[in-house]
Chain A
Amino acid sequence: MVEWTDQERAIINGIFSNLDYDDIGPKALCRCLIVYPWTQRYFGAFGSLHNAEAIKNNQRIADHGITVLHGMDRALKNMDNIKATYAELSVLHSEKLHVDPDNFKLLSDCLTIVVAAKMGAAFTADVQAAFQKFLTVVVSALGRQYH
């Protein structure tokens, strides 16, 4: 089980309670699709992704970015058992969506940079450490049920 300090819990909850999901979600997913273009393989049915402009203007991608970010709410509400909380989502990503679990880390790195850009100097080293620890646990839980 993951141990969280009070400070880490406060930092992580603070970030998410101040987050504009409708802004950050699309930005994070778009950034991932542009910086790591092979991740576009999962979005063949989403319409035009043929350049950065198309990706940024794609409403289905934007909507999906919001969905993914809200998916983290479950972990926030169950920080002491993220592994069990994501068991079903992990199975979904493995069996139905067939997402390479290495790609979860790519998205989480992009999310980190988008949140960092939004928070500026307030995204201190300690804040980054807590946020990345949370994302690492989420990523690990999402990959847990692959076989």
Chain B
Amino acid sequence: MSLTDKDKATVKALWSKISKSADAIGADALFRMLTVYPQSKIYFSHWPDLSAGSSSVKAHGKKVMGGIGLAVSKIDDLTKGLLDLSEQHAFQLRVDPANFKLLSHCILVVIGTMFPQDFPPEVHVCVDKFLANVALALSERYR
């Protein structure tokens, strides 16, 4: 399900509206994932504090959204654009790719709560496809 020109334009337009809230979106989405899918906490056993508003969650949420912003800028070739990140996830972090779907869903929920007017179904479908393609690009180097 590759991205059409319309998908890319829609994602870029939405990103321009929401990117100034990227840090907040990232922290909220990450915390939701840890709460709604507790199995995801295994990747963060080294954090002293997994509660809402913790500095670890905030910092990491910001980092994740930085990656999403990078993906938006490399939307025409996600596999190439996210190669370094894929290497990192594949060889160092070794996050099971199933978790990308969980975080993607939480990102969509947060966009829905924070920007309901900007997130009708026609936009949702493009963002869902985009995040799925980001997940695919992140999985590129796994095996």
A contacts, CB < 8 Å to B: 30-31, 34-35, 37, 52, 56, 109, 112-114, 116-121, 123, 125-126, 128-129, 132
Contacts and interface: CB of A to CB of B under 8 A. Distances in A.
**Interface on chain B toward A: helix, strand, loop, or mixed SS?**
helix
B95 interface: no
A125 B35 CA distance: 6
A125 B109 CA distance: 10
Given A113-B108, A120-B113, A128 B32 contact: yes
A56 B122 CA distance: 11
A43 B125 CA distance: 19
Contacts of A129: 35-36
B121 A116 contact: no
Contacts of A109: 105
B112 A34 contact: no
Contacts of A117: 112-113, 116, 119
Interface in B97-143: 105, 108-109, 112-114, 116, 119, 121-122, 124-125, 128
Contacts of B108: 113
Nearest to B105: A109
Given A113-B109, A114-B112, A128-B109, 18 more contacts: A31-B121, A35-B125, A52-B122, A113-B119, A113-B124, A117-B113, A117-B116, A118-B116, A120-B113, A120-B114, A121-B113, A123-B109, A125-B34, A125-B35, A125-B52, A126-B35, A128-B32, A129-B36
Interface string B77-95: 0000000000000000000
B2 to A, nearest CB: 15
